[in-house]
Amino acid sequence: MDLNAELDDFAGDNNLTVNQVLGFLLYQRNYQDNKKFAALGKELYETKNIEDSKRSLDLDKILGLKNHLDMSVNHMNFCKRFLSPYHSIPNEKYIRAYSNTILPETCVWKTAPDYEPTSVFISSREDVVCLTVKRLVEMLQK
């Protein structure tokens, strides 16, 4: 007997679809090692279909939403919990780490005669322009 026939028999005996059986196996085999595969398997087992899956928002979109609406960490956590059945939103530490990679380097502005720090300025405008152009090119290539 081949594997497909075995799957069909097992699924029929347990009132499941073959996709549900495969989803359960995917979940069971990957629960410890690969949480994304495990979640996909669980969804396949529970919904019998993966077309109804959550949409994952990338870090650029989340960062744009966060900055445009001037959202705090608490607001982002609320949105993450509220939208969790429909959208997958990255954790705050990933959002913060990503935003730190696209921020320009800043320096403290010191004024004479005391040289006390008074404000912050961008240390290199050229770096900011290069970083912005680089990100625009990356976005166009997606």
Which DSSP letter does residue 88 get? E
Q: Tell me the pLDDT tens digit for each residue of 26-45.
A: 999 998 988 888 888 888 88
**Number of residues assigned to the chain:** 142
- The string of DSSP letters for 41-58 reads HHHHHHHS-STTPPEEPP
Q: Is the distance from CB of 63 to CB of 97 less than 8 angstroms?
A: no
Q: Tell me which of 65 and 121 has the higher pLDDT.
A: 65
What is the pLDDT, as a whole number, of residue 112?
58
| Res. 46: pLDDT tops 80 | yes
Q: Is the distance from CB of 48 to CB of 38 less than 8 angstroms?
A: no
Please indicate, yes or no, whether the overall pTM of this predicted structure exceeds 0.85: no
Q: Tell me the pLDDT tens digit for each residue of 70-126.
A: 888 899 889 888 888 778 888 889 888 988 888 777 777 666 566 666 666 666 777
